[in-house]
Amino acid sequence: MTDKPDVFISHASPDKDAFVRPLAEALRRLGVAVWYDEFSFELGDSISQQIDRGIANARFGIVVISQAFISWNWTQHELRGLVSRDVDQDIRIIPVWHGVTKKDVSYFSPSLADKFAIDTSQVDAMEAAIRILRAVRPDL
């Protein structure tokens, strides 16, 4: 994994099989440097240290917002790190709504609800990856 990933993917584990892993794999195949837990952790790594490093070094934060994401404490920690960097203008958050509505997102985080998002009820992982590619690596 590169030290400077293009994207950091924040997600809840229950969403891996249905959407997040296919998204991460599609982004990698398209040439995007991806920080994703299954690609980025090695045996013995400190989980919190690697996540903090991924957030600190990524240019974009992809936040896959689902009911599981909303209810998990760990994802809230990642989101706070990404929002902190977003406020400082050195990272851009790309929200992905996975099984949630604008109302759900608004209740959870009004600032995330205000951002243009990808809705997985309308696109699959590959189409989402292509849209993300256009934003994060227009050179490709």
Write the CA distances from 26 to 19, 60, 83, 135, integer angstroms.
Answer: 11, 16, 25, 15
Domain boundaries in the chain?
A: 7-136
CA atoms within 13 A on the CB side of 139: 3
Instruction: Give the Cα separation of 36 and 102 in Å (integer).
Output: 25
Q: Is 42 a catalytic residue?
A: no
Per-residue model confidence (pLDDT) at position 31: 95
pLDDT in tens, 78-130: 999 999 888 877 889 999 999 999 999 999 999 899 999 999 999 999 999 99
Q: What is the mean pLDDT of the chain?
A: 91
At 23, is the pLDDT very low, low, confident or very high (cuts 50, 70, 90)?
A: very high
Mean pLDDT of 19-45: 89
**Mean pLDDT over residues 8-35, rounded?**
95
Q: Which of 25, 38, 78, 127 is catalytic?
A: 78
Q: How confident is the model at residue 1 (pLDDT cuts 50, 70, 90)?
A: very low
Give residues with Cβ within 8 angstroms of 20, minimum separation 6: 9, 11, 36, 64
Structurally, at CATH architecture level, domain 7-136 sits in: 3-Layer(aba) Sandwich (3.40)
Which is more confidently placed, 23 or 91?
Answer: 23
